[in-house]
Structure 1
Amino acid sequence: MYVPALGQPLFRFLNAALIAVPLLGAAVSAQPVLLPALSDHSSGELTIYSSLDNDLALPMLKAFQSAHPDITIHYEELLTSALYDRVVHETDAGGPTADFVFSSAMDLQVKLANDGYAMPVITPDTPDWPDWANWRDTAYALTFEPAVFAYNKQSFADTTPPETRLDLMEWIESDPDLVHGRIGTYDITRSGVGYLFMARDQELYQGIWDVVAAMGRADLRQYPTSRELLERITDGRLSFGYNLLGSYATDWARQYPDQVGVILPRDFTVVISRVALVPASAGSPENGAAFLAYMMSEEGQLLLSQTLRLSAVSLEVAGQTTPAGSLQDLSGLRLKPLPVSPGLLAYLDQATRARLLERWDRAIAGR
């Protein structure tokens, strides 16, 4: 197993991440999915809480069930914060809770593991899993996904869209009236991944608050989901989207190639993962562990890469699925991946969070 590093193998690997599927849609209204056992002799149930859209999860669920026809699967799509709260509440109430949890909110997943809400699981692939993607055998990264800029192509028909944060500020100042109300990003008070991106930006870039202030002067629009942002970029209500989850944005660019463009920032690109765990209070922990083992297997990683179009952590698998043509050259990028580690918990400290949100509000308001 090759461990990702900031070298050419990782650049080649990330190409696979740039053809992707919708991930952060309107999860609040999603209905649970039930897949009855395929055989007449049920051997139990598997309950999954995930931030992955129902439609996109189905190939994953059906592939696992074909190998385990005696298992009935219950799948619930939730926003990341609701998913975390659900596991904590159900566990603290005496359980049971889900058997498998899969979320893009790395910090919340690591907090579940750190606070004792996840159990250690050793799969056949654990010994070879990258160190950055495994914390104490309780929280495993299964994907590797960049944050991107997305833009409406018609809005930039006569000019080059921003490729760095400095470019973004210069574009805003070049024509304030034209830009006014045309920039969007996540509402970091409601989007876990949006907050994570901004917290990471603050760590990596001293001038980030100048960027936020510039977007605030341009009447920045904020939304809790990627879908709401991409819909508005596609139809032209927004010209530019800041820090969108790349796996979502690139699918819209694939579906609407004349409307949507995607850029990986050239100054630095934050990369996050979707993290999986088996809760300590799982009703059927053996089934949760079996599903985790499947998703870490070569077959499961191929499914993520080829069918769900999510970048696989297994670089051997990613190498098999790299498209012939990539969205753009990655060799010049400064990639900033987040490891699965207790360091993520700093983003959840309430005082730290309050300070970041207060500074965000001040910058947006021009104070």
Structure 2
Amino acid sequence: MLLGAAVLLMTFISDYANRAADQALDRLLSAAALSIAGAVLVEDGAVVVEMPFAAFAMVSGEERVFYTVLGPQGEHVTGYADLAPETPLAASVDPVFSDIRHNDEAVRMVRLGRLISTAEGTGWVTIRVAETRGARAALAAEIVGAALVPVAVLTLLALALVWIVIGRAFAPLAVIDRALRQRRPDDLSSLDVPVPVEVQRLVGGLNNFMGRLEQSTARMGDLVTEAAHQVRNPLASLRAQSEMALDEPDAAELRARVGRIHTSAVEASHLVTQLLMDATISHRMETAVIRAIPIVALVDEVVGRLDPDLRPRVTPQIGPGTDTLVVMGDRVGLREMLRNLIDNALAYAPGMIEVAIAAQTDGTVRLAVLDRGPGISDADKARVLQRFVRGSGASGTVGSGLGLAIAQRVVTGHGGKLTLCDRAGGGLEIVVALPVVDKQQPDKQQPGAPQRKRAPVAGVLLCAALVTALDATSPLSAEPLLFAANGPETQQLAIAGTTDTALFAPYIAAFQAGAPGVAVRYLETDSLALYEGFLAGTLGFAPDLLISSASDLQMKLANDGHALSHPSPGLAALPAWAQWRAEVIGFTYEPAVIIYNPRLMPPGTQPRNHLDLAVLLEQEPARFAGRVATYDIARSGLGYLLASQDQQISSQFWRLAAAFGRVSARLSDSSPAILDNVASGELILGYNVLGSYAFARQAAGAPIGIIVPDDYVLVLTRSMVIPRTAPNPDLARAFVDFALSPAGQQVGAGPSALGAIMPGSAGIWTPERISMLGTGVIQPIALAPVLLVALDPQRRSRFLATWQEIVAPGRP
């Protein structure tokens, strides 16, 4: 087996070496393709590529390299036209790797796309880069060779150790075997032999089994003894009566004796039945599988199984709220317990029998059987719960003295309590209290998880709508706002974020509904101020959670080691692009849109894509002079993120930027400010406004129109980061879990319009519905290290300088 395992290990190592070599060199191959993609331009409507020198510097200098660039319709632009013509064109920026043959050589190829926008429309340019596999084979062979020697040495060493160790390891089992063989068959005492620690668990298991076997054997012996003792009297009576009946000449006396024989037979049958049931119940209390049993259904089942002539005497009384009560236990045991109680009442009491069910406030259900019989004296109440004991008033009635004992055993085995009480007005009341669970309650939480109530969703969404309508124009808070706890405050969660307080308040309210005693301190600020203030320690308090729409700045914080990892259970359903290393976690789905004033831009005149917007501003500069707004990317972290993403995706970006400069576009660092000015008519258009703010404002009645571009749509997610310096990281983790939960996602999908990111969420603003508002390509801004490229100081400085020169020349 060890030799076979060594062969399998070497096979695995060989496969791993090939995969590791591919993984390592695939990164360089995709980097080469990405550098070529970055050089793709559109000039005079045609795709052109100025091949970067660095593209082929990234791949091995010993390998042959092939490349090709194809236009949106598959037309050849440059490179090797015969490179993998059968493979499909690219449809995303994600690299796709494949092993093919080119010129009769095995090569590794990567395929990816670059989205471009021309006058004819939007399409994907396909970039393919391939290299021969010599370097990969050499790297894989090196890994295999380095692993071969230690594997061989360890295999030989393991063979020697196994040979020695197996003999010593099994020696204690021989000791146990001898000790068991030397025992008498009836000796079930604990095994006491000297064995090593490793075998003590086996000895303990054997002793435990023999102990349970001894108990079972003793119980069976007691049953046999009791049965023999209890059955002897009715059988002796039957024999005596039958012998006398054989010699009885008088017909009347013979009939009387036959009646006594029948009574003794009934008593013996009842006793045997009860003895067998006692044995069955004793066994089931130890081995039965616990199941959920609706208490009302149990009562209906027992009453329904009564003899037809006795059933009319039993009246169930179902109390309010008991139809959802469930007892966890053994159905057969509970059924026989209740049947015994009802049979006793029917046997000893004339008239109607009541079976009452009532819910109790202490988490139990009260099950009572009430009759109008002679009752049981106080002196007998404790005695009759013992086996084979009957009350003083039981003479003349067939019975075994086991019914109440069986019921007591079942109730005790289910964690309940059985009580005998005198019924008001005469009679007996047998009360059984059993612990219950509500079948409609939510699933139990994992041990140690904080108890959390489900927030009333309708109330949260209504709160969101009212707050949005009444306070959507509230300015940034200079000081954190305190949201008081529901009840006495026990903890305080500190959050610094860029979301408008009015839109974020429903999240806080819903979170606090499930976390009583937690107050929330929330500071609203700008994305750049949040990033710089946290690093400088000037936010005014130590935040437990940072929430920002500027995902690149959040990535920068995490990449520089300022974030704690939190593998929330919600990450499993979160799209892969919306989280990074469980340190930066998105929870909303927000498109960047164009807004306009419908009164100043009638239907049919609005631009439907980025190129239309540029053409419109170029053709009517006087009309739009000073009446178009976009982000000031020098002051707004979100604005810079959107602009840098626009520049990567669209070949029309700088043309649009020049159009903004031609109409002297206003620059703002706030989406709400742009929305206010468009709604008032001071502005006609607003570009790259967050769709979440626009949808919420429009739902509140603001006179604005919203355009989801038909060429491509940037979609971002507000991301959460738990700082390493957080005073209350557990509270921050609880909020992250809530934001990703169905309750948190429903807040985002409601009138707050921040958008749910989880697929299949319930509400208005789901990712599926938002994606259907436009016909363009949905381009999520993925939480990935590539976002850090735009934050390079020199690159950012050059980008801002070019933007300033084109969009706002001469303006400070």
Structure 1 residue identity aligned to 2:759: L
User: Which whole-Å deviations, capped at 9, do the CAs of 1:198-229 have from their partners, x for residues lacking one?
Assistant: 11111011221111111211111111111221
Corresponding residue number in structure 1 for 2:693: 248
Corresponding residue number in structure 2 for 1:44: 491
Contact 2:771 2:778 in 1 (8 A): no
Return the index of the structure with the highest Cα Rg: 2
Corresponding residue number in structure 1 for 2:740: 296
Change (3 A) 1:328 1:67: closer
Change (3 A) 1:127 1:357: same
Q: Does 1:260 align with 2:704?
A: yes
Corresponding residue number in structure 2 for 1:176: 621
Alignment of structure 1 residues 20-39 onto 2, 5 Å:
28-39=476-487
Corresponding residue number in structure 2 for 1:67: 514
Corresponding residue number in structure 2 for 1:337: 780
Change (3 A) 1:66 1:165: closer
Alignment of structure 1 residues 313-332 onto 2, 5 Å:
313-318=757-762, 320-321=763-764, 329-330=772-773, 332=775
Corresponding residue number in structure 1 for 2:670: 225
Contact 1:96 1:282 in 2 (8 A): no
Q: 1:346 aligns with which of 789, 794, 798?
A: 789
Contact 1:99 1:284 in 2 (8 A): yes
Higher relative contact order (CA 8 A, sep 6+): 1
User: Which whole-Å deviations, capped at 9, do the CAs of 1:46-97 have from their partners, x for residues lacking one?
Assistant: 1111111222222211221222212222111111112112322339x9x982
Deviation for aligned residue 1:147: 0.7
3-state SS of paired residue (1:344) = helix
Alignment of structure 1 residues 57-136 onto 2, 5 Å:
57-90=504-537, 97-136=542-581
Q: Does 1:200 align with 2:645?
A: yes
Corresponding residue number in structure 2 for 1:359: 802
Contact 2:493 2:728 in 1 (8 A): yes
Deviation for aligned residue 1:264: 1.0
Alignment of structure 1 residues 204-215 onto 2, 5 Å:
204-215=649-660
Q: Does 1:190 align with 2:635?
A: yes
TM-score (norm 1): 0.85
Deviation for aligned residue 1:158: 6.9
Contact 1:27 1:78 in 2 (8 A): no
Cα distance in 2 between the residues matched to 1:365 and 1:83: 26
Change (3 A) 1:366 1:111: closer
Structure 1 residue identity aligned to 2:748: L
Contact 1:88 1:117 in 2 (8 A): no
Contact 2:472 2:697 in 1 (8 A): no
Deviation for aligned residue 1:185: 0.8
Contact 2:591 2:692 in 1 (8 A): yes
Cα distance in 2 between the residues matched to 1:80 and 1:184: 19
Cα distance in 2 between the residues matched to 1:24 and 1:193: 19
Deviation for aligned residue 1:37: 3.2
Contact 2:587 2:719 in 1 (8 A): yes
Structure 1 residue identity aligned to 2:805: R
Corresponding residue number in structure 1 for 2:379: none
TM-score (norm 2): 0.40
The range that moved more, 340-349 or 299-308, is 299-308
Where structure 1 has 5 or more consecutive residues not aligned to the other structure, the ranges are 7-18
Cα distance in 2 between the residues matched to 1:164 and 1:44: 49
3-state SS of paired residue (2:564) = coil
The total of aligned residue pairs comes to 345
User: Which whole-Å deviations, capped at 9, do the CAs of 1:321-353 have from their partners, x for residues lacking one?
Assistant: 458xx7895462111111111111112111111
Contact 1:253 1:260 in 2 (8 A): yes
Alignment of structure 1 residues 148-187 onto 2, 5 Å:
148-157=593-602, 159-187=604-632
Contact 1:152 1:240 in 2 (8 A): yes
Structure 1 residue identity aligned to 2:483: L
Deviation for aligned residue 1:272: 0.8
Deviation for aligned residue 1:273: 0.8
Structure 1 residue identity aligned to 2:755: S
Cα distance in 2 between the residues matched to 1:70 and 1:155: 50
Deviation for aligned residue 1:189: 1.0
